[in-house]
Chains A and B, each alone.
Chain A
Amino acid sequence: MMGRVVATERKPNTPHEFHFWTALDSPVGIGTIVRVEGSTAVGGQVPRIYGVVVEGFSYTDLQSPLHDVMGHDGAPGNHAMSSTERAEIRLYTAHVLRQIPEEPLQPVPMGSVFLADDADVAVALRMDGYLREGESTGIPIGIYRAGGTEAAIHLDADFLLGPEAAHLNITGVSGLATKTSAVEWVMQSIFTHFPASKGSVAALCFNVKGPDLCFLDKPGILDHADRAIYEKCGVPAGPFENVQYYAPYKSDGFSLNTLRSNEALLDNVTPLTWGLREVLQYAEVLLNKDDVDAKADAMIDFIKENVLDRPFSDPMLERTHTVTSFADLEQWFRDVLRALEKKDDQSWRTHHVATIRKVRNRLSNISTRCKGLVADDGAVSDLPFGTFQDRTVYVVDIASVEEDAQDLIFARVVTRLREHLERRDLGVNHVVVFVDELNKYAPSDGADTYVRKMLLDLAERGRYLGLVLFSAQQFRSQVHRRVVGNSGTSLFGRMDADELATPGYAVLSPATRTKLSTLEKGQLMVRHPHFTQPIFVRFPRPAIMRGRDGAELYPQATDVTLEHAVTRSLRALDPSVTLAWVQDTIIMHEPEAVLKARNATVRARPDDVRAFFRSQFRPTVSGKAAQRPAAPAVLRTTPADDPYGF
């Protein structure tokens, strides 16, 4: 026995709160889970109450500090070796996690207090309901440790990935809260423990910050304590086995815009390039910011429906246009505007010339701002919508692309996921979408952007579809309330005192807030629908190379020449391709044509790479081949010792 329940008129027990005292050396602390054994049976059953300690008090029989001053004659050093310690108490307040029986709900009775053991923790957190042998939906989130107890804490997959509830949000200060690490760990745990009966699950992560998520398939450094937690939680202490990276090109159109550009790591990096069609479909993502009116909207719709991807002719125009790329579209606009000028007309097919000019401006802006993502030749290299694989992480690296391009990628990827999940043809049943720095994409104040609306929709309806949002931010108070509010599970790492002072945290006791503001790395406070109170857990370092270690070990490829870039791409398909051969082949051609040929070759993955590539330069062969690629087959690696085979 560790303590005794006490209640006084001034500090009575209630159905949700009770008090107990312990010996001075008892291992109780804020967050400790305890069990109370009542002494009087109610309805034939002796009540058992589980609680979590939220506040502690300590005092002596000293009635006034002045008495101590008098006792020491005003000199703190006097009688320093007092032969007796004053009578002293450790008094704790606990919040009820669970009462058994649950009815009638009564104030917590007097009783004996025990440290909760493994089994108690499971009952207290109602985990017994979803950890049943053979039909468990438990996803370990970490371990709870107190006194001699060490218990794995499980979340319920039905409440983490739908359909009952879904989503996970994590808050905490930069660097100390281990937010990104915690999400990586939870995803590893999900991949290990997500029950087969619930189907397949994949993760799609947007890398928004430096090298954070660039090395998910490389092992990290763990210590003994970390390994023990992996063991206890039954999660293999290794990196993700299946990871696919996607990154747009830089504005040069041939170097990948990612920190994972080292040659040794390119085998699972796929360029992300979209054509005009993909961009126009999501034009409103970018255009609504620029205050595009209904007339402009109508103009864009007209282009989407009548101009894009089909021969367009008009008696007024010089020629028939088949628009498949931004370059084609520009030609078309020029033709239209020239014709209007010639006729000195103010409108064409109900569209005013000013509107036409404005739309042309806006769209050409997009193609500049999103250069690298938007292929001028209309070529598409996309995520494998339709063939997503179970237990695979898809990382879309948008860390170094412009804000507009980020928004566009975000909006299109999430919308596509949603559409496919609605049609049940994504390839997997569940996708976890991880968005770091959520406050940037779904801020509590500011304009109602397309991206924010999309995240809101995801938070509110995603759980029925298996589309789950995992998000992180430093300050929860700066994120739109309904986005975090819909998150069934919330994690909190080390918190900033100012953030803790915001109204959202008022429900926490001062001691719990103090604990949150001093949490060490690897400790989290967890809120989950089954837990009636927040619980503190420990989790291990992710078994993944840290971003900055990876960036050091695998330095970024220096920007290469066009010849090098093409050689590298083709060598991935056919190791016999040499730089000299490429130089010879492209010497007579414009860079655009070379890239177009390279893109076509990479998409087609022909048996005879050299012949196919060479054939692209023949004027008779159309460069248009923009079919959506199948699932990215794992490309062969270039030998590390001879990257180019010069």
Chain B
Amino acid sequence: MSEQLDHSFRGAQRALAAALPPGAMLDRGGALELAALNPSEAPRLIAATLVEGGSMRRHQVGEPVAQFAAFLDGTQVSRVMTYRDAVPVVHGTVAAVVRERRDRRMGTWGRPIVRHRLYVPRALVPAAFWERLESTGLEISDTSDAADGSGTPHPFALRDAAIHRVQKDRERAEHELAEQWCGSESRPLFVDGGISGSAVAQSSCAVGVVKSHRTLYVEGADLVTVLALGEGERSSVLRITSPRRTTVASWYLRLRDASGRDPLWGLVRVEMKAEDDASAGEVGHRADEISRWILAETSPVSLPDARWDKMVYGIRDCEEFLKVIQ
């Protein structure tokens, strides 16, 4: 039986080193995500439509209740393996997992996803080089569409393009798992990040919890109200629509007491299916309920993760799990 090709970063390094001229490989590539992604988008405010009551208010959600049956998260790592002239060859790994809570302990639900790929703009490298890459048997994703056609772009721009492609792949993996869950389970799933890009935004089994606030969906006095949320309080429910995404119902929720901290500390934005024919009262009632579920997940704390104010333990558990298997 022939050995299966190892697609992991190390395996790909070996395969490429064998296919390329000596000395072509970079010694070691740090993960690009650390260096690149963060300050990509400018912070912005976008107003969304209020669907609960006539004005933005603070609501006490009540006592925490543990209801989530499982947690979903995905991770990605990309590294430059070599440059062909000024074009980076990026290796990306995406992984996603659903960790189910059974008898108060976390365990893996179904099969986690792990995918490895090379990300290379075919249009920008010589055909022979492309063929050499293909000859290794590694899976290659063509990122040509990231180039604007005006000659060779800045290598960093190509690198960022690759990272965004990896990010898309990660989201796809996450969505696949979320859909699998919703296809076979009716118990609620806690999803890290928004759900509007996924089919599960149309089902009530998944709740998205967003930790980053580069875009805030409130303005003016409403923003002041949101930032003033106390521990265990949520905002009124909004409807968030965007061109290529499913419309979702969303609200802000303060997980922890932020006094003495920055105003976004402990603040998350929750996304759930938009119930078009529900009354405002029903929507508010449902938001309270889900908020109580989320509050129940603030213990145990997810320290030492830097985002522990917003990250629940179940999601940290997914990330730790993925670190091991990817």
Contacts and interface: CB of A to CB of B under 8 A. Distances in A.
- The 7 lowest CB-CB distance pairs between A and B, nearest first, are A83-B66, A71-B301, A67-B303, A79-B299, A82-B299, A63-B304, A85-B104
Interface string B280-299: 00000000000000001111
B304 A82 contact: no
Nearest to A81: B66
A64 B301 CA distance: 12
Contacts of B320: 61, 87
A84 interface: yes
B105 interface: yes
Nearest to B313: A84
Interface string B296-326: 1111110110000000011001001000000
A83 B303 contact: no
A610 B168 CA distance: 117
Contacts of A61: 320
**Overall SS of chain B's interface:** mixed
A87 B317 contact: yes
A87 B317 CA distance: 8
A338 to B, nearest CB: 98
A624 to B, nearest CB: 88
B228 interface: no
Q: Which size bracket describes the interface of B in this complex?
A: 10 to 19
A618 interface: no
21 contacts: A61-B320, A62-B300, A64-B304, A67-B303, A67-B304, A68-B301, A71-B301, A72-B299, A78-B299, A79-B299, A82-B299, A82-B300, A83-B296, A84-B66, A84-B101, A84-B105, A84-B106, A84-B313, A84-B314, A86-B300, A87-B317
Contacts of A64: 303-304
Question: Taking each of B298, B301, B320, which has the highest tally of chain A beta carbons within 10 Å of its own beta carbon?
Answer: B301
A71 B303 CA distance: 8
Contacts of B303: 62-64, 67, 70-71
Interface string A68-108: 10111000001100111111000000000000000000000
Contacts of B314: 84
Q: Which size bracket describes the interface of A in this complex?
A: 10 to 19
Contacts of A72: 299
Interface in B73-119: 101, 104-106
Contacts of B105: 84-85, 87
Contacts of A78: 299
Contacts of B66: 83-84
A387 to B, nearest CB: 71
Given A84-B297, A87-B106, A87-B317, 8 more contacts: A68-B301, A79-B298, A79-B299, A82-B299, A83-B66, A84-B314, A85-B104, A86-B300
A63 B308 CA distance: 13
Contacts of A79: 298-299
A83 B301 contact: no
B304 A71 contact: no
Nearest to B303: A67
A83 B106 contact: no
Contacts of B317: 84, 87
A83 B297 contact: yes
Question: Taking each of B299, B300, B304, which has the highest tally of chain A beta carbons within 10 Å of its own beta carbon?
Answer: B300
Contacts of B298: 79
Contact of B299 (A62, A63, A71): A71
Nearest to B104: A85
A70 B106 contact: no
Interface in A40-78: 61-64, 67-68, 70-72, 78
A95 B66 CA distance: 43
Contacts of A85: 104-105
A109 B66 CA distance: 42
Contacts of A83: 66, 101, 104, 296-297, 299
Given A71-B299, A72-B299, A86 B313 contact: yes
A76 to B, nearest CB: 12
Contacts of A82: 299-300
Given A84-B101, A84-B105, A85-B105, A70 B313 contact: no
Nearest to B304: A63
Contacts of A62: 300, 303
Contacts of A86: 300, 313
A511 to B, nearest CB: 25
A79 B297 CA distance: 10
A64 B101 CA distance: 24
A567 B325 CA distance: 91
A64 B305 CA distance: 12
Nearest to A79: B299
Contact of A68 (B296, B297, B300): B300
Contacts of B297: 83-84
Contacts of B301: 67-68, 70-71
Interface string A142-176: 00000000000000000000000000000000000
Nearest to B257: A73
A71 B266 CA distance: 13
Contacts of A67: 301, 303-304
Contacts of A71: 299-301, 303
Nearest to B68: A83
Interface string A389-412: 000000000000000000000000
Nearest to B316: A61
A24 to B, nearest CB: 8
A280 B300 CA distance: 82
A110 to B, nearest CB: 16
A71 B305 CA distance: 13
A67 B304 CA distance: 7
Contacts of B296: 83
Nearest to B299: A79
Nearest to A66: B303
A67 B297 CA distance: 16
Contacts of A70: 301, 303
A79 B231 CA distance: 15
A78 B301 CA distance: 12
Interface string B111-143: 000000000000000000000000000000000
